[in-house]
Structure 1
Amino acid sequence: MNGSATTGSLPHEVRSWRAGGRWVQTAAGRVFVRSGPGAGPTVLLLHGYPSSSYDFRRIVDQLEGRAWVALDFLGFGFSEKPRPHRYSLFEQADIVEDVVAGSVSGPVVVLAHDMGTSVATELLARDIEGALSFSMERVVLGNGSVILEKASLRPIQKILRGRLGPVAARLANRVLFTREFAQLFSARHPLSKDEAAAQWALLSYERGHRIMDLLTAYLDERVVHAARWHGAVRDWDKPLGFLWATGDPVATTAVLDGLRALRPGAAVIELPGLGHYPQIEDPGAYATGARRLLGIEDGPGT
């Protein structure tokens, strides 16, 4: 393995997360998958940019005995990072379908964060069309810039998205990443040194930090396909809820307000003061909200 982070240099908790998983071959490439047994419906966890399924490590044990499955999207975490490659939310949705087909029997409920919310809205659109390959009963979206014009993108996101993106990716390093990533956390729950080290190790695994510009293509897709994905939020005929940390400097409450306008009847749980990664900042509060919105607050089988 070449790159800034290899198996031997990974922090202990990251190595443990990796050791409990497996790789699944999909049409797009090999992706890393973690899962746990339990009652159904299976909870499908979809992570955001630029992180990985590791974000949910302190959530999966708080799902009241439910089966769960999480994956690293192509280009992220321990999954393959092909280059050159046109990374697309449509392809990531295809990958989710492949992973579910090989890992889950029975219906699924979805908990999605950040970029994962747009993968989830593509799954909603496919379900509306009758084209989704699995049964999806309930979806929870959290802190993702689904309505991009209402979000407050960080300067680095704008640079990576533009013509200087390849240069910015080549210059990426641990110090710059840590400084930028820390801005996503609240003052009450600042980014810890251990978390920063873990997130950098996962991002830089097999030189993943060098393709950060390629991975930001999803932002442009959110604009191009807004009508499809906003329409899916509005029109999907099953329970859809929003779990939102209100101190997020990127996917702000303006995004949540826009989603509420699209889906006035949606259940909403706000997590006051938490930043962009509430599942890391306050796993207990995040898990409690997720259980309620996923309909599993009373334990397995409910």
Structure 2
Amino acid sequence: MEQVFTDDRGTAQSVQGSGTLEWWQQGGRWFSYGGHAIFSRMAGQGEPLILLHGFPTSSWDWSRVWPMLSQQFNVLTLDMLGFGFSDKPVDYSYSIEDQADLFQGWIEALGLTSVHLFAHDYGCSVAQELLAREQEGVLPFRISSVCFLNGALFPEVHTPLLIQKLLKSPFGGLISRGLTRRTFERNFRRLFGGQNAPDQNDLNDFWYLITYNNGRGILHRLIQFMEERRCHRNRWVGALQRAQQPIRLISGTADPVSGAAMARRFRELVKNPDVVGLRNVGHYPHFECPWDVFTNYRDFRKRIAERS
């Protein structure tokens, strides 16, 4: 299959062999973490770039920007435990700290001494935890830069959807197991802006990955990260404020849960804030407008290279 995008000059470009969920799965490999199978993907050459996905989706979120990024960088990603094609154990204490352990161990096992991080949503919190660990001197590798896409970097301005509040409630288990496709699609569509909402095929793929291997039954366990964000707020916000490496936020400003208000808070609390706003774009900028996300990330990296 061929994926087509438009470059800076308005010229149509294409990348062969990309675009389907089957292609994404077949191009991956699995490794073991605590006895659980973790799905991962790697492509490209150059400096290692780690992609961290969001909730409740998976690394597939990056599929539209993957061909462009992998032409310039050594791109690596995985489905965190409980997501996508990775194992989804029912009796497990899911946490941001555990997912950070997963990434830390994976990067160390690969023998990487420095990495760049590109994180979205849930992955933003994992990246913040990794930043905090680096500042404590406990990481075996260096974080060279961090780019964030829409995520609850500052929990005080995060506005979750009603379905998210219900999943986090004492009735979360019932809500999770009883989640219907219709309810999922209605709520998921609300996260997108007016520029490029998902079509039915896209929704089919997202639903398949969420429900794969009984994933619907653990959503209430995964979403407890919202409470983690509140409890670890000072640690994770402090990591942003103390960071010495370049940091950029690319924000879809039409995102109803972590859009314009999150970008404003970033400008208020982070020294010398580097923020790029994407108008009419919602919570999944890398899926809604992959070329815009790629060009803004590429420019971020070019600026870093020019300084060094």
TM (norm. structure 1) is 0.91
Of residues 237-246 and 121-130 in structure 1, the stretch that sits farther from structure 2 once superposed is: 237-246
The answer to whether residue 95 in structure 2 is matched with residue 52 in structure 1 is no
* 1:116 alignment counterpart: 123
Amino acid paired to 2:32:
Q
**Alignment match of 1:186 (pick from 169, 184, 193):** 193
Q: Which runs of 4+ in 1 moved over 4 A?
A: 296-299
Change (3 A) 1:297 1:54: farther
Greater RCO, 1 or 2 (C-alpha within 8 Å, sep 6+): 1
Of all paired residues, the percent bearing the same amino acid is: 33
- Could you report, residue by residue, the CA deviation over 1:166-217 in whole angstroms, capped at 9, with x for unpaired residues? 1101111222111111111112322211110000010010010111100101
1:69-84 pair list within 5 angstroms? 69-84=76-91
Amino acid paired to 1:84:
D
1:242-253 pair list within 5 angstroms? 242-253=249-260
- 1:255, 1:32 → 2: CA distance? 31
What is the deviation of 1:78? 0.5
- 1:149, 1:17 → 2: CA distance? 36
- 2:35, 2:225 → 1: CA distance? 16
Secondary structure at 1:204 match in 2? helix
1:217-228 pair list within 5 angstroms? 217-228=224-235
Task: Please tell me whether the aligned partners of residues 241 and 270 of structure 2 are also in contact (alpha carbons under 8 angstroms).
Answer: yes
Task: Please tell me whether the aligned partners of residues 251 and 277 of structure 2 are also in contact (alpha carbons under 8 angstroms).
Answer: yes
What stretches of structure 1 of length at least 5 have no aligned partner?
1-11
Task: Please tell me whether the aligned partners of residues 149 and 285 of structure 2 are also in contact (alpha carbons under 8 angstroms).
Answer: no
Task: Please tell me whether the aligned partners of residues 288 and 297 of structure 1 are also in contact (alpha carbons under 8 angstroms).
Answer: no
- 1:258, 1:296 → 2: CA distance? 24
* 2:46 alignment counterpart: 39
**Alignment match of 1:262 (pick from 248, 254, 269):** 269
* 1:99 alignment counterpart: 106
- 1:296, 1:33 → 2: CA distance? 29
What is the deviation of 1:294? 3.3
**Alignment match of 2:92 (pick from 85, 88, 105):** 85
* 2:167 alignment counterpart: 160
Task: Please tell me whether the aligned partners of residues 86 and 214 of structure 1 are also in contact (alpha carbons under 8 angstroms).
Answer: yes
**Alignment match of 1:136 (pick from 140, 143, 162):** 143
- 1:248, 1:57 → 2: CA distance? 20
Secondary structure at 1:241 match in 2? strand
Task: Please tell me whether the aligned partners of residues 267 and 293 of structure 1 are also in contact (alpha carbons under 8 angstroms).
Answer: no
Amino acid paired to 1:163:
P
Task: Please tell me whether the aligned partners of residues 53 and 71 of structure 1 are also in contact (alpha carbons under 8 angstroms).
Answer: yes
What is the deviation of 1:24? 1.4
Q: Give RMSD over aligned pairs.
A: 1.8
What is the deviation of 1:105? 2.9
- Could you report, residue by residue, the CA deviation over 1:237-256 in whole angstroms, capped at 9, with x for unpaired residues? 11111111111111021112
1:21-40 pair list within 5 angstroms? 21-27=28-34, 29-40=36-47
What stretches of structure 2 of length at least 5 have no aligned partner?
1-18
- Could you report, residue by residue, the CA deviation over 1:110-157 in whole angstroms, capped at 9, with x for unpaired residues? 000001000000000001000112221000111001211201110000
